[in-house]
């Protein structure tokens, strides 16, 4: 008995697994480095549109795409950390819009800096409410944030039905900008969104908090059993997401000094699109904020490129929809392969 076992052991030395086909190794690599997929897609799109259209790669167009990415890009960061814990946030746009209305209104009464402070507290508080409902009462994030979305949309309209304008000041600081390499226009908002991605990427990959976020999304029971305070991690994620939505509100003021209850009606779905295209798994525990920002860029590049190629804007939505489904399919397939 033991003799036969030994031969089996000798016959099967620790050789690397060569059973995988070429296709399997590609999916495997995408699975291990989730940024490669969206990065590749973005590069391919940029090359394709540069060939197909005249103006796509112009400095004007590329700097415009970067500036367009700041609001959804920032919201998508909050969406990403929530999805990483296995949740989803349908209320992110509504939180941003309500806080931008409150900020714009208060700015007229108490000044821009205090108004900003109130807006920050409001966003953190709204994030904390969702976070507490998800972590303490263990309610499904989909339902909690759907409820928040409905409540906050109504609250925004009750608060004001008008379009509010903010004056030039600290609130419009992110719209300031300058030129790089002669012609390339870059705004403070673009710098801030890139910094936000970098800081969050660092926090997720290099700190114990980041590891715990992934662990909770991967297997929350395992996380609890290894002594991680799962409730506190969840709460911290929702509060941080709220803070990011406040930052997104400032980014929105940087893009336009006007805000209204009807602004950004599809921000929640746009951010989920960006996150999914960016390679983050809707099942939680796997993904990157860098990918989500690339996902937001991919959507904008598609829109810009197809517009310049003279294609009906409705086709942009069809292409975006196909991309979302393709990204989720890729995630499911690579997950299954890895099992």
Partner 1 sequence: MSETVLEARNIVKRYGHVTAINGADFDLRAGEVLAVIGDNGAGKSSLIKVLSGDVIPDSGEVLLDGQQVHFRSPHDAQLAGIETVYQDLAMAPALDIATNLFLGREIKRKGPLGSILRMIDTKEMRKQSRKQMDDLGITTLQSITQPVDSLSGGQRQTVAVARAAAFGRRVVIMDEPTAALGVRESKGVLDLIKRISGSGIPVVLISHDIPAVFEVADRIHIHRLGRRTTVVRPQDHTMNEVVGIMTGALPAPPLKEEVAS
**φ, ψ (nearest 5 deg) of residue 178:** -155, -170
Cβ proximity to partner 1: between 6 and 176 the closer is: 6
Least distance in angstroms from the C-beta of 166 to partner 1:
34
* 161: number of Cβ within 10 Å: 10
Q: Which of residues 300-339 bind partner 1 (CB under 8 A)?
A: 338-339
In a 13 Å sphere around the CA of 40, the CA atoms on its Cβ side amount to 10
Q: Decide if 171 contacts 114 (C-beta within 8 A).
A: no
Return the range that interacts with partner 1 (CB under 8 A); candidates 36-44, 110-118, 211-219, 290-298: 211-219
DSSP state of 164: E
| 240 forms part of the interface with partner 1 (CB under 8 A) | no
Cβ proximity to partner 1: between 29 and 176 the closer is: 29
Least distance in angstroms from the C-beta of 1 to partner 1:
9
Of 106, 222, 210, nearest in space to 166 by CA: 106
Cβ proximity to partner 1: between 136 and 206 the closer is: 206
| 29 forms part of the interface with partner 1 (CB under 8 A) | no
Q: Decide if 67 contacts 251 (C-beta within 8 A).
A: no
Cβ proximity to partner 1: between 176 and 206 the closer is: 206
Q: Which of residues 120-179 bind partner 1 (CB under 8 A)?
A: none
Handedness of CA 81, 84, 86, 92 (dihedral sign): positive
Beta bridge partners of 55: none
| 13 forms part of the interface with partner 1 (CB under 8 A) | no
DSSP state of 287: -
Cβ proximity to partner 1: between 36 and 65 the closer is: 36
| 227 forms part of the interface with partner 1 (CB under 8 A) | yes
Least distance in angstroms from the C-beta of 21 to partner 1:
16
Return the range that interacts with partner 1 (CB under 8 A); candidates 133-141, 151-159, 181-189, 223-231: 223-231
- Interatomic CA distance for residues 222 and 208, integer angstroms: 16
Residue from 163, 183, 207, 332 binding partner 1 (CB under 8 A)? 207
Residue from 102, 105, 187, 214 binding partner 1 (CB under 8 A)? 214
| 195 forms part of the interface with partner 1 (CB under 8 A) | no
Cβ proximity to partner 1: between 147 and 210 the closer is: 210
Of 268, 59, 293, 282, nearest in space to 192 by CA: 293
Least distance in angstroms from the C-beta of 35 to partner 1:
15
- Interatomic CA distance for residues 333 and 245, integer angstroms: 32
- First-to-last alpha carbon distance for the chain, in angstroms, is 31
Cβ proximity to partner 1: between 10 and 54 the closer is: 10
- Interatomic CA distance for residues 291 and 276, integer angstroms: 9
Cβ proximity to partner 1: between 226 and 266 the closer is: 226
Q: Decide if 101 contacts 159 (C-beta within 8 A).
A: yes
| Positions that interact with partner 1 (CB under 8 A) | 5, 8-9, 14, 16, 32, 206-209, 211-212, 214-215, 218-219, 221-228, 285-286, 338-339
């Amino acid at each position: 008995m033991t003799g036969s076992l030994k031969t089996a052991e000798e016959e099967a030395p620790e050789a690397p697994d060569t059973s995988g086909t070429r296709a399997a190794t590609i999916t495997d690599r995408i699975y291990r480095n989730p940024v490669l997929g969206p990065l590749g897609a973005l590069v391919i799109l940029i090359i394709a549109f540069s060939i197909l259209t005249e103006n796509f790669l112009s400095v004007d167009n590329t700097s415009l795409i970067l500036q367009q990415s700041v609001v959804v890009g920032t919201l998508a960061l909050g969406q990403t950390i929530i999805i990483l814990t296995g949740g989803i946030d349908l209320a992110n746009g509504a939180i941003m819009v309500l806080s931008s209305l409150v900020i714009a209104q208060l700015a007229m009464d108490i000044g821009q800096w205090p108004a900003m402070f109130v807006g920050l507290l409001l966003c953190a508080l709204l994030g904390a409410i969702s976070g507490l409902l998800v972590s303490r009462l263990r309610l499904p994030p989909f339902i909690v944030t759907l409820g928040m979305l409905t409540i906050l949309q109504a609250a925004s309209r009750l608060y004001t039905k008008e379009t509010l304008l903010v004056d030039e000041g600290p609130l419009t600081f992110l719209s300031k900008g300058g030129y790089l390499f002669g012609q390339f226009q870059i705004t403070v908002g673009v710098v801030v969104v890139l910094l936000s991605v970098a800081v969050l990427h660092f926090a997720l990959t290099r700190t114990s908090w980041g590891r715990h976020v992934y662990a909770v999304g991967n297997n929350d029971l395992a996380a609890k059993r290894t002594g991680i305070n799962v409730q506190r991690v969840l709460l911290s994620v929702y509060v941080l997401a709220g803070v990011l939505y406040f930052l997104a509100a400032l980014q929105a003021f940087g893009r336009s000094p006007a805000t209204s209850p009807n602004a950004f009606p599809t921000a929640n779905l746009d951010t989920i699109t960006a996150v999914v295209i960016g390679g983050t798994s809707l099942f939680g525990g796997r993904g990157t904020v860098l990918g989500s920002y690339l996902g937001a860029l991919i959507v904008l590049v598609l829109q810009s490129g197809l517009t310049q190629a003279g294609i009906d804007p409705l086709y942009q939505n069809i292409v975006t929809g196909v991309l979302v489904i393709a990204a989720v399919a890729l995630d499911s397939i690579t997950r299954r392969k890895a099992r």
